[in-house]
Amino acid sequence: MIEEGQKLPEAKLTKVAESGPEQVSSTEYFAGKKVALFSVPGAFTPTCSAQHLPGFVEKADELRAKGIDEIACTAVNDAFVMGAWNQAAGSADVTMLADGNGDFVTAMDLTMDGSGFGMGKRGQRFSMLVNDGVVEKLFVEAPGDFRVSSAEHLLEAL
């Protein structure tokens, strides 16, 4: 599993933008800025929609006040689902990064098996502070938990 102090792996992500999906390189996207990145097992899932995304939307100003340049959410979903989820429950304060094939979470060894729920391979629930492509803080949830990956927990760590 990726660790604090390590550089994020190169992977192709799809950034959800107003003009439509844009392919981005993880290396290029995270370069030169501080990003609060959080991962959810899936858009529109209960904990993700009721707590995880809303927490980062609610705490966006506080995160920026602590030096965060951008807040990003990733999930093993396609860009259209991520865009619809952000329109339904998110805000312009959160950049959605679709990891449709799970390449990004696989390269970080942060996958989970959601096959028991018909979800297949997904990303674990986590949050991290990424500074110029390097993981400074990493918080990975135990299966079924939602505590350490919350916006509140990340804020306390900054």
Instruction: State whether the Cα torsion 85-73-2-22 is positive or negative.
Output: positive
Catalytic residue among 8, 11, 48, 129: 48
* Torsion angles phi and psi, residue 36, rounded to 5: -90, 110
Q: Is position 73 annotated as part of the catalytic site?
A: no
Phi, psi of 7 (to 5 degrees): -80, 140
SS3 132: coil
CA distance 25 to 134: 15
Which residues are catalytic, by number?
A: 48
